[in-house]
Chain A
Amino acid sequence: MTHAADLPLWIALPVALLLLLGAALALTGAIGLLRLGSFYERVHAPTLASTLGIGCVLLASMLFFSVLGSRLVLHEVLIAAFVVLTTPVTLMLLTRAALHRDRREGSEEVPPATASHVERK
């Protein structure tokens, strides 16, 4: 970050905007984690940070270091791919664990395990 001041304005503006947007989305996700009602609702909130939030930050990072280093920086593509592939798996594990526990406790909130009542079209 020592050369941040050398960055031309036309590239500094989009980098700053993308960083702010990404940070705002991460903050919104965190607020959602606090505000939403049930566990199944709260699990939706962090996806804001893990999709568009991280996307904006990575794009800003690519722009910044590609211009400063005057070469194309592609590490961020890998970060994005790994985040996109691993976050859904984590979320599904969490929700399935919650569902398993709720069904064992006989919670009224969750639907039954057998889906035989679902009509096929």
Chain B
Amino acid sequence: MTRWLPHPLVAASLLGLWLLLVESLSPGSILLGAALAVAGSRALAALTPPTARLRRFSTVPGLLLDVAVEVVRSNNAVARIILGAAGTRIRQSGFAFIPLDMHSPYGLAALACILTATPGTVVVDYDAAGNVMLLHVLDLVDEETWVRIVKDKWEQRLMDIFE
């Protein structure tokens, strides 16, 4: 924003983080937290990260809720696979190439974190030239299904937020 406070959102998050950490709202801790927040945001500015523009911030809570639901659902699915309760069907794990339309580095990072944090899928590789993500899926029924899941469920909404 300005030279004095380059990343107001980051600074506010850092201040919130500090206040949570010390669990106090006394003037002293707010002052110390604010000093740390300003220092932290200026340190970030010195690293010159690519600019991020958050559009449609209102969809973020809904997205986070969906991530939480998906995490619970796939925890159940993966636990069943591990404990051998998934039925007699032969399970096959494998790789899936996901062609992406999103180019925003923050959107891609968020997508990678969501997919990897969800049990059962891990982002293995990303090819920036072709904009293709390589995914390893524990229960790979069919590559096309996973392309649709990633694109429709997550990529579209992240593009709404980050691009």
The interface of chain A, by Cβ under 8 A from chain B, is 25, 28-29, 31-32, 35-38, 40-41, 43-45, 47-48, 50-53, 73-75, 77-78, 84-85, 87-89, 91-92, 95-96, 99, 110-111, 113-116, 118-121
Interface residues of B in 67-111 (CB under 8 A from A): 71-72, 75, 78-79, 81-83, 93, 95, 97, 99
CA distance A25 to B78 in the complex (A): 10
Known: A88-B116, A99-B124, A99-B125. 14 other contacts (CB 8 A): A25-B75, A28-B82, A35-B82, A51-B119, A88-B123, A95-B124, A99-B134, A111-B97, A113-B125, A115-B97, A115-B99, A115-B130, A116-B130, A118-B97
CB <8 Å contact, B93 and A78: no
Q: Is the interface of A mostly helix, strand, loop or mixed?
A: helix
CB <8 Å contact, A47 and B124: no
CB distance from B72 to the nearest CB of A (A): 6
Interface residues of B in 105-149 (CB under 8 A from A): 112-113, 116-125, 127, 130, 132, 134, 136, 138
Total count of chain B residues near the partner, CB < 8 A: 34
CA distance A26 to B93 in the complex (A): 22
CB distance from A71 to the nearest CB of B (A): 9
CA distance A77 to B79 in the complex (A): 25
Interface check B43, CB cutoff 8 A = no
- The stretch of B3-11, B15-23, B33-41, B155-163 in contact with A is B15-23
CB <8 Å contact, B138 and A88: no
Please pick, from A41, A89, A110, the residue contacting B138 in the complex, using a CB distance under 8 A: A41
Q: Which residues of chain B are within 8 angstroms of A91 by Cβ–Cβ distance?
A: 116, 122
The interface of chain B, by Cβ under 8 A from chain A, is 17, 20-21, 23, 71-72, 75, 78-79, 81-83, 93, 95, 97, 99, 112-113, 116-125, 127, 130, 132, 134, 136, 138
CB distance from B64 to the nearest CB of A (A): 10
CB <8 Å contact, B95 and A111: yes
Most chain B C-beta atoms within 10 Å of own C-beta, residue among A35, A44, A74, A92: A44
Q: Which residues of chain A are within 8 angstroms of B79 by Cβ–Cβ distance?
A: 25, 28, 48
Known: A75-B20, A88-B116. A45 touches B125 (CB 8 A): no
CA distance A14 to B115 in the complex (A): 30
CB <8 Å contact, B119 and A96: no
